[in-house]
Amino acid sequence: MGMEEEEQVIGDFNRWRQRPELAEAVAAIKALTAVIQRSQASTMMGLEIELKNASEMLKAWDRSSISLSAGCDLFMRYVTRTSALEYEDINAGKSRLIERGERFGDISLKARETIALLGQDFVQDGCCILVHGSSRVVLALLKLAANNGKNFTVIVTEGGPKKTGMEVSKKLSAAGIPVTVIVDSAVAYTMDRVDMVLVGADGVVESGGIINVIGTFQVALIAHSMKRPFYVAAESFKFARLYPLDQQDLSISTGQEESSNPARDYTPPHYLTLLFTDLGVLTPSAVSDELIQLYL
């Protein structure tokens, strides 16, 4: 594949990423769909090879994004599986893949709705929820719960040093939910009056643990020691084929530079209570089952 092809793929990806409601994995899949459309291959194998190259390029473009590589892997796996089915005509196969790829954007939004529907059951009247990090899924969940007439309060961590928590608190106030912002170091102090913790995830790994913005592990440790349930809301296309054993493993696999200012951390499955996904409410042990089902 030439330089211009590479530019086109990455250009497509960045264009899709501009849309705020679209998750990264979805943007990647849309870019790969465009590759299929442009492809001149005459066999499914040839198409697969082109897609594989494009997927490698995308992954190389942003090594640190877990959901990007998870999305690429998912689509590649789907393509290999589909070509195993009987498609006598390559054009029929191509059109089916293109159709699926284009629908994936809808699936992503629908996934968010499903998760919001499942998760809002767990929000009870009068409860206090601690939120860490900025996740569109978590926002959708809380907004739905508020729209269904539940009265609850939210405590948002400031999320330094980028102070992402302020954005989140603005969006929650706009939805009519009472919000308090606390500094990250005050989590243990406030955990007493918190009923549950809710976070999103950048990626969900094979062990059932999650990779999320820095500070999530800390909050999980505190929640666990004070016996508060720790819930994660993540779409299923974030399930990645990674198995970090500690925080250092994480930086090696994602190419994060060894720095004193890491952007992400890994929370082991032991500290998670439940994961809300579009495949249903899962215990951390169920995650590896789902991954095996897909990749075997």
Partner 1 sequence: MPDLQAAVDDFVIKLKRRQVEGSLATAKSTVLLLRQVVSHQRIPSSGPASSLIDAVKSVGSRLIAANPMELAVGNMVRRVLHIIREEEATIVAAQVGVTPVSDSDDDADVHGVPGLSAVALAAANRTALRAPSLHNLLESLPTSAGANVEPVPESDTKSRCKSSDKNSKSWKLKHGVIDAIGLLLGEIENYHSEISEQALEHIHQKQVILTLGRSRSLLHFFREAKKKRSFQVFVAEGAPRYQGHKFAKELAAMELQTTVITDSAVFALISRVNMVIVGAHAVMANGGIVAPVGMHMVALAARRHAVPFVVLTGLHKLCPLYPHNPSVVLNELKSPSQVLDFGEMSDCLDGTDGSPVHVVNPMFDYVPPELISLFITDSGGHNPSYVYRLVAEIYSPEDH
Binding residues vs partner 1 (CB under 8 A): 74-75, 77-78, 81, 85-86, 92, 100, 103-104, 106-107, 110-111, 121-122, 124, 229, 236-237, 239, 273-274, 278-286, 289-291, 293-294
Element (H, E) at 26: helix 24-38
Q: Please identify, using beta-carbon distances, which residue of 133 and 208 lies nearer to partner 1.
A: 208
| Rounded least distance, CB 83 to partner 1, Å | 12
Question: Can you tell me whether residue 132 is helix, strand or coil?
Answer: strand
Return the axis-axis angle of helices 24-38 and 3-17, rounded to nearest 10°: 140
* Identity of the residue, 61 or 87, whose beta carbon is nearer to partner 1 in the bound complex: 87
| 260 versus 293: smaller Cβ distance to partner 1 | 293
Q: How far is the CB of 81 from partner 1 (least distance, A)?
A: 7
Q: Hey, what long-range contacts does 80-86 have (CB within 8 A, 24 or more apart)? A: 80/48, 83/44, 83/45, 83/47, 83/48
Q: How far is the CB of 274 from partner 1 (least distance, A)?
A: 7
User: What is the amino acid identity at position 94?
Assistant: K
**Planar angle of CA 153, 158, 161, nearest 5 degrees:** 165
With respect to partner 1, which residue has the nearer C-beta, 52 or 171? 52
Q: Which of 161, 152, 242 is nearest to 198 (CA)?
A: 152
Q: How far is the CB of 261 from partner 1 (least distance, A)?
A: 33
Distance CA 201, CA 134 (A): 9
The CB-of-136 to partner 1 minimum distance in angstroms stands at 18
Nearer to partner 1, 27 or 214 (CB): 27
**Nearer to partner 1 among residue 177 and residue 291 (C-beta):** 291
Q: d(Cα 67, Cα 63) in Å, to the nearest integer?
A: 10
Q: How far is the CB of 240 from partner 1 (least distance, A)?
A: 11
| 239 DSSP 8-state letter | B
Write out the two tokens for 279: 């495949």
Closer of 7 and 99 to partner 1 (Cβ) = 99
Q: Is 6 exposed, middle or buried (0-12, 13-18, 19+ CB in 10 A)?
A: middle
CB of 182 to partner 1, least distance (A): 24
